Amino acid sequence: MATLNPLLTKVFRGPLDLNGPVIGRIFYLFEYARSYIEERIEAFDARFGTDTSAPTFERNQKTAVHFYVPTTASTIYEILGSIPLQPNKFAFVDMGSGKGRALLVASEFPFAKIVGVELSEHLHRSAEINIERYKPESQQCAAFELKCMDALDFDYGDEPVVLFLFDPFGREILQNVIANLEASLKTKPRDVYVVYVYPQFEDVLQSSRVFEMVKEGGPKWRPWSRYVIYAATAAAAASLGMEPPPLT
C-alpha cells in the first residue's frame, strides 16, 4: 500500500485517523459489518466454536493503539503458507493479538511456539478461551504463550521469528517495535520475517537497515487484506553490529 507524504500524514492523521475520535467509531461500524459478512462466508468461528469475528472498540480506546479487528482467516493462511518455514524453528509472535485469530491459524503451521502480545485484559482473556476451544486435526503447534503486556516491553528471545502485525498501532509505536526487534537482531543475529497486514506505515520498514521486502499481496480493492512481508537474514542482522568504515 502506498504511504502518505510525511506532511500529508501530519494533516490527515489525528482527527481523521480511522482509529481516532472523529471517524474511528464510524470506521468501527464498517469493520463490524465487514467482519460479519466475512464470517458468513468463511465460517471460521462457526467451524471451531471460537469467538474471534466481532471487532472490539474499548471504552478507553487510545488513538495510538488501534481497536481490535480480526484478520481475514484466508489471508492468514495465504501469508503463512508462503513463508518457507523450517519445522519447529521459528516462533510466531502476534503484536496486538486481540482475540487470537492469527494465533489459532498459526497453530496449523510447524512453529516452535506461538506468542500473543496484547495490552487489553479483556481481549487477552478472550484469546485464552479461544485457544482452549481450538482443536483442529490439522493443528501442528500447541505451545501457546499469551502475554498481557505493552508491546514495547516484549523480549524477542533468541529464536528466529515471524512477527505478525495487523495494523495494531500508530507510527510511533510501530517505529519503536521495529527498533526493539532490530536491537534484538543485533544481539543475536537470526532469520526474521515481519508480516504487516494493512501496511499504512510501511515506510517504517522501508527505511530499515536490515529488512527487505520479499512479498506483497492481497487485492487492492480490499485494503484490510493487503499485506507485505519483509525479511532479515542472519547475515544481514549480523551487519547491524559492524562499525561503519571510516570516512576518507
Query: Quick one: cell of 69?
Result: 479487528
Q: What CATH number was assigned to the domain covering residues 6-241?
A: 3.40.50.150
Residues 87-139 have pLDDT tens digits of: 999 999 999 999 999 999 999 999 999 999 999 999 999 999 999 999 999 99
pLDDT value of residue 19: 53
- Where do the structural domains in the chain lie, given as residue ranges? 6-241
Residues 205-224 have pLDDT tens digits of: 999 989 999 999 998 888 88
What does 36-102 look like in DSSP terms, one character per residue?
HHHHHHH-HHHHHT----S-B--TT--TTBPPB-PPPHHHHHHHHHHS-PPTTTPEEEEET-TTSHH
Helices (H), 93-169: 101-106, 121-133
Res 62 pLDDT > 70: no
Average pLDDT, the chain: 86
